[in-house]
Amino acid sequence: MNFALIANIAVALAACWLLLHLQFRHVSFTKRVFAGLGLGVAMGAAMQVLYGAHGPVVKDTVAYLNIAGEGYVSLLQMIIMPLIMVSIIQAILKLRDASSLGKISALTIGALMVTTMIAACIGILMAKAFGLTAAGLTSTAAEVARGHYLEGKLTAAQDISLPNMILSFIPANPFLDMTGARQTSTIAVVLFSVFIGVSATGVAGKKPEVFESFSNFVHVAHVIVMRMVTLVLRLTPIGVFALMSKVVASSSVQDILNLISFVVASYSALALMLCVHALIVTGIGLNPRRYFKKIFPVLAFAFSSRTSAGAIPMSVQTQTSRLGTPEGIANFAASFGSMMGQNGCAGIYPAMLAVMIAPTVGIDPMTPAFLLQLVAVVTVGSVGVAGVGGGATFAALIVLSSMNLPVALAGLLISIEPLIDMGRTAINVSGSIAAGTFTSRMLGETDLDVFNSDAEVNLDGDEQVA
């Protein structure tokens, strides 16, 4: 272990100590996330300037930063399935109304699908506005290797059909799905939890004492799981710091400059999609400025971690404690939003790629027939795209193969993939929260006192701070 590595670890530990100190001083959660984000950018930039993006010191330092960054993401993934189960079961026990459950599902899934369709249109618009095309792009060895890798994954993408995807949602082995072993495990656990909840309400009238005992058990389990969520969320600023340090330190400035048009076009599309979310919030009578201020911490985590599924616990906490959305709706939106209707990864990105790649095989991407087919394929193909690293690539494979476009050309963007994926993931999570907020408001379930409150609720604590 050389001096430079020891110095980097010492600086990282000092930054973590500072973030813990801010927590002990009861600094608000949002400010601590901002601090973690800023410290991560500063440390990552410093390492890149001193050692280079691909230097051995950076590689060794990132390995230690992963203990905090990837370790934090793993802890979040640990609590996803228990959180989904107890929250949805408890919500159904309180509802005791199958029609309400149907309305929640229909509104949530409908909002996710419609926003993904809009995201695809925005992706097409930005690709055209910036004149993006894959023709003439040069390939490095890494990009060629990435292209071959994508071609190897093509068979798996082509084998996916909407009927097969829907069938995969059924939890044939719920205990296997609780381990997250399948791409659609999250939705399978949601459905299994719904079956448990509906079954329990079915015996409420016949065996009230059994129902009462089960309801008390679920309540106790829910309290314990939510306490576990709180404990894990306390590590958010440290996790954001470590993840941002890693991304900034290992990003090549030259690679970004070589594909700057695609980077700018992508973030322009993501910004427009954020405006769409703001319009949805405004349309249902809520203040968009207050809304985005309240959801910023979870968007910052999604941006730095690049995992929509890992953001589920924080998303649920944000929707319930800051936006006034009932827990059952929040869980449905966060869970379904991590597996379908991802506005960034499954909407904007594959649509932009298709428009870029089409001219290389002599197809005019601006013909009505091509555009209608593309929007339809993107919307349907967004069902079942996992909210983890690589989800956008899989969505692109589904769309490109369905449109008979060469998938290997998608490998040309490998050098800027992490940078683009950060923004895409934040938009995915923003879309799922917007869907939950829309559903809650349309059903008249939103607690407006919570939403309109200017007191900030710490997601990792029990008290409110001014």
**Cβ atoms of residues 334 and 187 within 8 Å:** no
3-state SS class at 465: strand
CA distances from 145 to 299, 407, 418, 463 (A): 32, 13, 17, 51
Highest mean pLDDT among 92-106, 339-353, 421-435: 421-435
CA distances from 217 to 167, 185, 223, 363 (A): 31, 24, 10, 60
Spatial separation of the C-alpha atoms in residues 277 and 273, rounded to whole Å: 6
Spatial separation of the C-alpha atoms in residues 113 and 107, rounded to whole Å: 10
Comparing 89 with 258, which gets the higher pLDDT?
A: 89
pLDDT digits (tens, 9 = 90+) for 205-226: 888 899 999 999 999 998 898 8
Helical H segments across 306-447, by residue range: 312-321, 327-337, 349-357, 368-381, 391-402, 417-442
Of 448, 420, 40, nearest to 263 by C-alpha is: 420
Spatial separation of the C-alpha atoms in residues 347 and 437, rounded to whole Å: 20
**Cβ atoms of residues 191 and 92 within 8 Å:** no
**pLDDT bracket for residue 166 (50, 70, 90):** confident
pLDDT digits (tens, 9 = 90+) for 254-308: 767 767 888 899 999 999 999 999 999 999 999 999 999 999 999 998 898 888 8
Res. 183: pLDDT tops 80: no
Res. 129: pLDDT tops 70: yes
**pLDDT bracket for residue 466 (50, 70, 90):** very low
Spatial separation of the C-alpha atoms in residues 42 and 234, rounded to whole Å: 22
Which H or E element spans position 125? helix 98-129
Sketch the domain layout of the chain as residue ranges: 3-465
CA distances from 215 to 95, 198, 212, 221 (A): 12, 12, 5, 10
Task: Provide the pLDDT for residue 141.
Answer: 47
**Cβ atoms of residues 35 and 22 within 8 Å:** yes
pLDDT digits (tens, 9 = 90+) for 298-342: 999 889 888 888 888 899 999 999 999 998 899 889 888 887 888
Which H or E element spans position 4? helix 3-24
**pLDDT bracket for residue 161 (50, 70, 90):** low
Spatial separation of the C-alpha atoms in residues 318 and 80, rounded to whole Å: 15
pLDDT digits (tens, 9 = 90+) for 20-70: 999 888 888 888 988 998 999 999 989 988 888 778 888 899 999 999 998
Res. 174: pLDDT tops 80: yes
Spatial separation of the C-alpha atoms in residues 187 and 169, rounded to whole Å: 6
Please state the pTM of the whole predicted model.
Answer: 0.80
Treating both helix axes as pointing N-terminal to C-terminal, what angle do 349-357 and 391-402 enclose, rounded to 10 degrees?
40
Q: What is the mean pLDDT of the chain?
A: 84
CATH class belonging to 3-465: mainly alpha
Task: Provide the pLDDT for residue 322.
Answer: 92
